[in-house]
């Protein structure tokens, strides 16, 4: 069954110009009371001071092993979906020795670390889970629980024989190009120093948890952890619930983003009392999770999953589509996400476009605020849960359990917007305004340093030709790459992630297209006995392509409530960061380039000396 796609919700009752002016004033005032002078510097890393970050609660005892000194064809840094997909696509190209190095005790990446109660993916499973056509797996639910997704990662890794050479509980500490062997030396924190002809990096965008730099945070004497390191030894239970360890306990939860809204209803089922410390309310739309029979999604037909995710990508990228196969609130509201997307489709009459856009946005946000009123019985709590900003200022969230949780007698919403978040943490609990909240347990659902990969943060040093560090080679002008994957001076290094390419809310799809590309580069270099390295000229050309029609994000994000989308309220620079024509066009461009121009990136190897 399919639903025709309409790009933006049709206004039910169009707001008047006075309504819109009042909304603009309200949004501005709400933004102003949230912007902090310290911006992104308000956060701190979850370092060893907090103990729980260093430990891997799922790995058990790390078995001793001898450090490796051997040589593989490809080293893949990171065993999340990016690394697994790279491995799978390399196998399809016939590459034999692929070694994935992963910090966690198994494959899965973000789905390995995040196992908090209530964890689900809010992107439809039939488009989110990669390689469904290849594995024959059909998810049972429209939105899969986290464990099903983690197990799918394991399924793919098994099917493509990625366990044989993998290293778990191991972090890569450096990558250095050795001219004499024309290979990379890969060192790890387990003493390995092995060689790889190629390196593919996929170190994740949600891999570095962050904590708020609340004064006194380290003094809390109760139990505390970050949602990405859920402590079931303390809470009892499983991601499905049954958190018997929280019975009778006073539990504080900081953060009401996509994670917080999944966790809070589950914790509320078992805790003595839950205090939800909210700074900015999320937009929480209908999720309507349900079981799906294979026939509902067309499973069984050749390429059904590929077609479905292509259709989804078109819609969430603002491309025309004849039908909407997924038909959920992401696709229904996709027209309103256009502000996060490039401006390539913006019509010539920009004023009329912006006006229509503002009306559609106001209607949607009104619908979401009305949803709060209808779901939450206490009017004061409902008022505080209403989001006052334009759709897409924050990552949209979806839940049917979140608002009803506030009707329970054991759940209290504490609004911290006026004090820029929690003011102080003490030995006994949390202080907001004049009120102290004594707590037994304080849980941080405060997210991640989004987009900060090991390479971009410098945590993973990379040295290319002549020992030049990658970040130094990029210098003040910032990264220079071809298509975001490869950089001059760093032969046979292929970077996956969100650098200078095109992205989408369905990030596993993006990663799969990147994996196909990475594997094709390796296969072509192997076939020709060549090295993968772009010229400076091709990098300059790519930068020019990215600048041509680059999105005008600045004004939109400058008016948005603070968050990681807009550098905590500072706005987003208009510097070219991504391919301006969106993910659908980017994938087509890559496919064309592979068919017609791939040879330009292949350089001759040095003559072997004997």
Residues near ligand NDP, by CB under 6 A: 120-123, 206, 212, 214, 254-260, 277, 279-280, 395, 416, 421-422, 445-448, 563-564
Helix (H, G, I), strand (E, B) or coil at 328: coil
Residue 167 or 340 having the CB closest to ligand NDP: 340
Least Å distance, CB 85 to ligand NDP, is 17
Q: How far is the CB of 259 from ligand NDP (least distance, A)?
A: 3
DSSP letters spanning 583-608 = HHHHHHHHHHHHHHTGGGGEEEPPPP
Full 3-state SS string of 466-521:
HHCEHHHHHCCCCCCCECCCECCCCCCEEECCCCCCCCCCCHHHHHHHHHHHHHHH
Shortest distance (Å) from residue 238 CB to ligand NDP:
18
Distance CA 186, CA 304 (A): 39
Closest to 128 (Cα-Cα) out of 146, 115, 114, 113: 146
Nearer to ligand NDP, 75 or 261 (CB): 261
Name the token pair of 76.
């893949």
Residue located via tokens 């999944």: 262
Q: For the beta carbon of residue 224, count every other beta carbon within 10 angstroms.
A: 22
Q: Which is nearer to ligand NDP, 229 or 480 (CB)?
A: 229
Q: What number of other Cβ atoms are within 10 A of residue 374's Cβ?
A: 10
CB of 488 to ligand NDP, least distance (A): 32
Least CB distance from residue 509 to ligand NDP, whole Å?
Answer: 13
In the complex, minimum distance from the CB of residue 260 to ligand NDP, in angstroms, rounded to a whole number: 5
Q: Which of 286, 288, 253 is nearest to 403 (CA)?
A: 286
Q: Answer whether 56's CB lies under 8 Å from 169's CB.
A: yes
Least CB distance to ligand NDP at residue 257 (A) = 2
- Separation CA 186–CA 100 (nearest Å): 12
Asked if residue 82 lies in contact with residue 113, where contact means CB atoms within 8 angstroms, the answer is: no
Of the pair 123, 590, the CB lying nearest ligand NDP is at 123
* CB closer to ligand NDP out of 345 and 424: 424
**354 or 428: CB nearest ligand NDP:** 428
Write down the least CB distance from residue 481 to ligand NDP, Å. 23
Minimum Å distance from CB 402 to ligand NDP? 12
Residue 269 — φ and ψ, nearest 5°? -65, -30
Question: What's the rounded Cα separation, in Å, for the pair 559 and 24?
Answer: 9
Instruction: Choose between 121 and 200: whose C-beta lies nearer to ligand NDP.
Output: 121
Nearer to ligand NDP, 40 or 530 (CB): 40
Q: Starting from the edge strand earliest in sequence, which strands make up the sheet with 273-278, in order?
A: 223-226, 441-444, 250-254, 273-278, 411-415
For the CB of residue 331, give the shortest distance to ligand NDP in the complex, in Å.
Answer: 15
3-state DSSP assignment of residue 152: helix
Give 368 or 546: the residue with its C-beta nearer to ligand NDP.
Answer: 368
The torsion angles phi and psi of 462, rounded to 5 degrees, stand at -125, 125
CB of 209 to ligand NDP, least distance (A): 8
Residue 146, classed as helix, strand or coil, is helix
> Please, what is the minimum distance in Å from the beta carbon of residue 365 to ligand NDP?
16
Nearer to ligand NDP, 276 or 321 (CB): 276
Buried b (16+ CB within 10 A) or exposed e, 399-437: bebbbebbeeebbebbbbbeebbbeebbeebbbbeeeeb
Residue number with CB closer to ligand NDP (255 or 484): 255
Residue 36 or 592 with smaller CB distance to ligand NDP? 36
| Residue closest to 603 by CA, chosen among 408, 465, 510 | 465
- In this structure, the strands spanning 530-532 and 602-604 are antiparallel
The distance of closest approach from Cβ of residue 357 to ligand NDP in the complex, given in angstroms and rounded to an integer, is 23
> Between residues 289 and 488, which has the closer beta carbon with respect to ligand NDP?
289
DSSP tally for the chain: helices H, then strands E: 19, 21
Report the candidate in 540, 537, 559 with the shortest Cα–Cα distance to residue 548. 540
Task: Locate 511 and state its tokens.
Answer: 């990663």
> Which one, 443 or 550, has the nearer CB to ligand NDP?
443
CB of 393 to ligand NDP, least distance (A): 10
Cβ burial of 155 (10 Å; 0-12, 13-18, 19+) is middle
């Amino acid at each position: 069954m399919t639903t025709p796609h309409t790009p933006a919700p049709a206004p039910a009752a169009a707001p008047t110009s006075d309504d819109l002016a009042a909304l603009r004033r309200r949004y501005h005032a709400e933004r102003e009371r949230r912007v902090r002078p310290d911006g992104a510097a308000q956060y701190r890393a979850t370092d060893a001071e907090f103990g729980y970050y260093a430990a891997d609660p799922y790995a058990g005892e790390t078995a001793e092993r001898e450090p490796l000194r051997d040589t593989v064809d490809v080293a893949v840094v990171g065993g999340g979906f990016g690394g697994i997909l790279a491995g799978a696509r390399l196998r399809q190209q016939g590459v034999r020795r692929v070694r994935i190095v992963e910090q966690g005790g198994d494959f899965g990446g973000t789905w390995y670390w995040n196992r908090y109660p209530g964890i689900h993916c809010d992107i439809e499973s039939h488009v989110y889970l990669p390689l469904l056509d290849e594995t024959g797996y059909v998810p049972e639910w429209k939105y899969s629980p986290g464990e099903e997704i983690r197990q799918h990662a394991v399924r793919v890794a098994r099917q493509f024989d990625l366990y044989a050479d993998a290293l778990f509980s191991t972090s890569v500490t450096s990558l250095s190009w050795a001219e004499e062997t024309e290979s990379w030396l890969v060192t790890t924190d387990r003493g390995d120093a092995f060689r790889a002809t190629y390196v593919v990096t996929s170190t994740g965008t949600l891999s570095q948890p962050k904590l708020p730099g609340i004064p006194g945070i380290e003094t809390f004497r109760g139990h505390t952890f970050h949602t990405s390191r859920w402590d079931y030894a303390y809470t009892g239970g499983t991601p499905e619930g049954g958190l018997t360890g929280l019975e009778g306990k006073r539990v504080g939860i900081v953060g009401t983003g996509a994670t917080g809204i999944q966790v809070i209803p589950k914790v509320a089922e078992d805790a003595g009392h839950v205090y939800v410390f909210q700074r900015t309310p999320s937009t929480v739309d209908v999720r309507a999770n349900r079981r799906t029979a294979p026939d509902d999604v067309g499973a069984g037909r050749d390429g059904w999953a590929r077609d479905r995710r292509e259709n989804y990508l078109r819609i969430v990228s603002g491309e025309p589509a004849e039908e909407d196969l997924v038909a959920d609130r992401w696709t229904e509201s996709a027209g309103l996400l256009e502000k996060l997307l490039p401006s390539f489709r913006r019509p010539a009459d920009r004023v009329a476009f912006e006006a229509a856009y503002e009306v559609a946005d106001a209607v949607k946000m009104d619908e979401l605020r009305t949803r709060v009123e209808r779901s939450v019985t206490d009017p004061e709590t409902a008022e505080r849960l209403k989001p006052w900003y334009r759709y897409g200022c924050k990552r949209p969230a979806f839940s049917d359990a979140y608002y009803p949780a506030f009707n329970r007698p054991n759940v209290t919403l504490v609004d911290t917007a006026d004090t820029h978040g929690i003011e102080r943490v003490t030995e006994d609990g949390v202080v907001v305004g004049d009120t102290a909240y004594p707590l037994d347990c304080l849980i941080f659902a405060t997210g991640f340093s989004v987009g900060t990969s090991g390479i971009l943060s410098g945590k993973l040093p990379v040295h290319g030709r002549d020992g030049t560090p990658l970040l130094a080679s990029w210098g003040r002008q910032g990264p220079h790459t071809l298509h975001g994957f490869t950089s001059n001076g760093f032969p046979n290094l292929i970077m996956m992630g969100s650098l200078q390419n095109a992205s989408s809310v369905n990030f596993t799809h993006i990663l799969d297209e990147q994996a196909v590309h990475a594997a094709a580069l390796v296969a072509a270099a192997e076939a020709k006995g060549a090295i993968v390295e772009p010229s400076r000229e091709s990098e300059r050309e790519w930068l020019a392509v990215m600048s041509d029609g680059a999105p005008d994000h600045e004004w939109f994000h400058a008016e948005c409530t603070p968050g990681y989308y807009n550098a905590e309220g500072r706005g987003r620079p208009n510097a070219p960061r991504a391919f301006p024509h969106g993910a659908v066009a980017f994938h087509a461009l890559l496919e064309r380039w592979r068919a017609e121009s791939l040879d330009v990136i292949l350089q001759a190897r040095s003559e072997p000396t004997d």
